[in-house]
Amino acid sequence: MDPHPDTRPPASSPPTFTWIYVVATALALAVLFVGFYRLGQNDTDAGWTMLAAGGTSLVLVAVTWPLALTMNASRRSSRGDSDTAGRDVADRIDKVLAQLKLIADQQLISDRAKHVAFRDKDRDAVRRAIQEDISRQDWDAATKLADDMEREFGSKAEADRFRDEIRIKCQECSLKQVDDGLAAIDRHTRAEQWNSALREAEKLLQSHPDHERVRNLPAEIENRRQGYKRQLLDSWNEAAARHDVDGSIEILKQLDTYLTPKEAEGMQETARHIFREKLNTLGKQFATAVQEHRWAEAIRVGDSIVRDFPNTRIAQEVREKMDVLRKRAAEPETAAT
């Protein structure tokens, strides 16, 4: 046995509490980082709470760490006092760490509580958004929200009901658009506005290309046009057969936009005959009105001849007499004044 035991103090080593402050500092920085991340995700409540917890923790570490170092130095000069001070510091550090852990646990519990508390409100918000998209006829957006409801809230049955409602509303809207378009086309065809009818058909084809009735609209419009043209040709032939000059001319005016060059050429001879009859009739009416001194009537018929048959010999003769007729028509008025 050594008669002179070594009474020297053991070599100094880094304070045992230093690693605790390192861990505490790391935890505080982690909490701060999470707070900034939550703020970046627009979760302001959780973000500010985490920032407050992290900042408080850093302040506690900054205050207690220098105190611990001072007390540790005093312990080296006085082992008895240092043992007591070290225990006090250790107790304080344990309390700080306990507080940090409590803050972190409370934050986690708060986040879970918020998630549970706002779950019903979030679901109600999704329901309202789906109904708003349906009212705007934004079927894709409404369907996406229904899918999100199933994925985020696990409400498959409710999501299925929404998807069925969206599909039904979409079909009803589609049918109404088609019906309105068909009604507009029918009005255009009745008014012989064939270009307007075709434009309406093109719009329906763009929005409802799979609808069978819509696909056949261009051919249907052309069939109506050809049918109306046949009616006009039949009416023309009947009027010409009974020598209805005025009726034949009116029908011919309507036929003008329907006839092909070849069809018009085949009708030229009959049309010339009808126009000659019309011109002869107007000429007789003009001559009779002049002979009977019905100047106003003569002027009216003369204007028709000049307007409708400007290049004929009769029109030239009428032009030469119109000034005299207007003077004669004004004579009774002059005499009366």
| HEC string for the chain | CCCCCCCCCCCCCCCCCHHHHHHHHHHHHHHHHHHHHHHHCCCHHHHHHHHHHHHHHHHHHHHHHHHHHHHHHHHHHCHHHHHHHHHHHHHHHHHHHHHHHHHHHHHHHHHHHHHHHHHHHHHHHHHHHHHHHHHCCCHHHHHHHHHHHHHHHCCHHHHHHHHHHHHHHHHHHHHHHHHHHHHHHHHHHHCCCHHHHHHHHHHHHHHCCCCHHHHCHHHHHHHHHHHHHHHHHHHHHHHHHCCCHHHHHHHHHHHCCCCCHHHHHHCHHHHHHHHHHHHHHHHHHHHHHHHCCCHHHHHHHHHHHHHHCCCCHHHHHHHHHHHHHHHHHHHHHHHHC
Rounded to whole angstroms, the Cα distance separating 192 from 231 reads 13
pLDDT category at 186 given cuts 50, 70, 90 is: very high
In this prediction, residue 209 carries a pLDDT of: 84
More confident residue, 312 or 64: 312
Say yes or no to pLDDT of 187 above 90: yes
Q: How many C-beta atoms surround the C-beta of residue 149 within 10 A?
A: 22
In this prediction, residue 67 carries a pLDDT of: 67
In this prediction, residue 7 carries a pLDDT of: 45
Average pLDDT, the chain: 78
**Tens-place pLDDT, residues 246-266:** 888 888 888 888 888 888 777
- pTM to 2 decimals? 0.47
- Give how far the C-alpha of residue 262 lies from the chain's centroid of Cα atoms, to the nearest Å: 49
In this prediction, residue 77 carries a pLDDT of: 57
Domain residue limits, the chain? 18-136, 139-215, 229-259, 273-337
End-to-end CA distance of the chain: 166
Helix orientation angle between 295-308 and 268-291, rounded to the nearest 10 degrees: 160
